[in-house]
């Protein structure tokens, strides 16, 4: 038969295993929670680049509506618009949108590119 000593040892080993597993689980949980671990943040005045892909069928108007509240002078200085090679209407809308935003830097910071043909 199993002695009382080996039974106590098995119980202690099981409890130790469960405690270690619980400790490691809590430690891992604390590591992945963003509110516990501090994350590096970008400087608040840094500039970001935008890649804006325009399309037909109203997508250009939708995209320009999304871009309307963005700060082009301080935050989003460099913008690249991807326009189809035959889509002169979208290109005209982008140019008038940039003029309306009043950045006066359409030629320096805004690039209109066409995708390469397949």
Greater pLDDT, 57 or 115: 57
- Biggest CA–CA distance in the chain, Å, is 91
Task: Determine how β-strand 78-82 pairs with β-strand 110-113.
Answer: parallel
**Mean pLDDT in the chain?**
78
Q: How far, in whole angstroms, is CA 65 from its chain's centroid?
A: 20
pLDDT tens-digit readout, 60-112: 888 889 889 888 877 888 888 888 777 888 888 888 888 888 765 555 555 66
Tokens of 86: 């035959």
Helix (H, G, I), strand (E, B) or coil at 79: strand
Quick one: DSSP state of residue 53? E
Q: Check residues 79 and 5 and name the one with the higher pLDDT.
A: 79
Residue 43, pLDDT above cutoff 70: no
Confidence of residue 37 (pLDDT cuts 50, 70, 90): low
Is the pLDDT at 35 greater than 70? The verdict is no
pLDDT band for position 15 (cuts 50, 70, 90): very high
């Amino acid at each position: 038969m199993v002695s009382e000593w080996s039974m106590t040892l098995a119980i202690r080993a099981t409890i130790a295993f469960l405690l270690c597993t619980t400790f490691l689980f809590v430690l891992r949980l604390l590591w992945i929670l963003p509110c516990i671990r501090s994350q590096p943040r970008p400087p608040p005045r840094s500039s970001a680049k935008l890649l804006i892909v325009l399309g037909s069928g109203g997508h250009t108007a939708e995209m320009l509506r999304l871009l309307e509240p963005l700060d082009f002078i301080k935050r989003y200085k460099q913008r690249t618009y991807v326009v189809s090679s035959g889509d002169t209407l979208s290109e005209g809308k982008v140019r008038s949108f940039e003029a309306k935003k009043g950045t006066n830097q359409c030629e320096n910071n805004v690039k209109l590119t066409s995708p390469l043909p397949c």
